[in-house]
Amino acid sequence: MDAALNEIARALVAPGKGILAADESSGTIKKRFDAIGTESTEDRRRAYREMLFTAKGAEECISGVILYDETIRQTASDGRPLVKVLEDAGIMPGIKVDKGTTKLAKSPHELVTDGLDGLRERLVEYRGLGAKFAKWRAVITIGDGIPTQYCLDVNAHALARYAALCQDEGIVPIVEPEVLMDGGHTIERCFDVTRDTLHTVFDELFAQQVELEGMLLKPNMVVPGKANRTASPDEVADATLTCFREVVPAAVPGIVFLSGGQDDVEATANLDAINKRGPHPWEVSFSYGRALQAAALKAWGGSDANADAGRAAFLHRAKMNSLARYGKWSPDAENAA
């Protein structure tokens, strides 16, 4: 076992802490800025992310931040690199290294993730820029006759190649196989697909000699599709834990769930219900994007004059998810805060 990788992985899932996913592509963040009537320029993107990174007290709830290629190269308004802003606050910088999804050859209704070409060289550069961990997302769609085993195999192979390269370069890989919430499938269907996906992923990780102690898993929770949203937090927690105990080895230091289209409070409530059923073989944490940022983005509204309001909204969500890490969140805590 690589002790240094294990130390970073465990620090990222320290008690009460989780990861902020601030790695939206330029296209994705433009859509979010459009929704608040703000032009998506490089300076506005920097100002928004700097606002999040300078929220005092965030380090008590946030262990790391996943950055986008643009962001890891940017400088804050006080002249410090944004990476240094995070490091000075005791928060580890990470980096998204995949290049997005494309249609899977011979299966046009399914997706595969690009980005393995030149990945080792990019990892070396990102390590030099301060990245301690990385993320690669695979996308699995539930539909009529899909996912196919072919799709699961191809995406699992790419995830394992990415993870092995990261560990070779001293970077902790976050392995993200996301079974999408899109559609009207039942929670039982999500359970089956998530189980099959994770089984295939861990087979590939083992085959490619990835050290499980030096990685983190970033999966979806087991939830019904968006068009069939009927599951309570207790139902989500029971299905998720039953699934994950079947297929996720105890050697993995932590599971950092993605929010995957859940709203802010829903993502917190489901994480809380899962942790109320602990202890677990792994730390159970969060790596949320929209579920940590949506309220902050709305409060900021594109204006630097609203930066304090944006920080306050971000801190509120971070604190609520910190409580959920201990299974101590409640609607009363939400309202009191």
Rounded Cα gap, residues 323 and 162, in angstroms: 32
118: left (phi over 0), alpha (psi -120 to 50) or beta: left
DSSP code of 183? S
Q: What is the pLDDT of residue 170?
A: 98
Strands 101-104 and 107-113: antiparallel
Strands 133-140 and 172-179: parallel
Residues 220 and 176: beta-carbon distance below 8 Å: no
pLDDT tens digit sequence for 114-139: 999 999 999 999 999 999 999 999 99
pLDDT tops 80 at residue 282: yes
pLDDT tops 90 at residue 230: no
Confidence of residue 228 (pLDDT cuts 50, 70, 90): confident
- In the chain, domain spans: 5-9+11-336
Say which residue the tokens 């459009």 belong to: 34
Per-residue pLDDT averaged across 301-323, rounded? 97
Q: Where are the beta strands (DSSP E) in 198-288?
A: 216-217, 254-257, 283-288
pTM of the model: 0.97
Token couple for 187: 């929670």
Continuous H helices in 15-148 = 26-35, 42-53, 69-72, 82-88, 119-129
Q: What is the pLDDT of residue 337?
A: 62
Per-residue pLDDT averaged across 229-245, rounded? 95
Per-residue pLDDT averaged across 248-254, rounded? 98
pLDDT tens digit sequence for 81-109: 999 999 999 999 999 999 999 999 999 89
Q: What is the pLDDT of residue 115?
A: 98
Q: What is the pLDDT of residue 336?
A: 74
Least confident of 69-83, 140-154, 238-252, 322-336: 322-336
Residues 194 and 179: beta-carbon distance below 8 Å: yes
Which residues does 61 contact at the CB level (< 8 Å), separation at least 6? 16, 17, 18, 315, 318, 319, 321, 322
Q: What is the pLDDT of residue 204?
A: 98
pLDDT tops 70 at residue 279: yes
Q: What is the pLDDT of residue 263?
A: 93
Q: What is the pLDDT of residue 334?
A: 87
Catalytic residues: 176, 218
Asked, as a colleague might, if the bond just before 279 is cis with ω within 30 of 0, I would say yes
Q: What is the pLDDT of residue 229?
A: 75
* DSSP class per residue in 244-267: HHHHS-TTS-EEEE--TT--HHHH
Q: Could you count the other beta carbons within 10 Å of the beta carbon of residue 316? A: 17
Domain with residues 5-9+11-336, CATH architecture: Alpha-Beta Barrel (3.20)
Rounded Cα gap, residues 214 and 102, in angstroms: 28
Mean pLDDT across the chain? 96
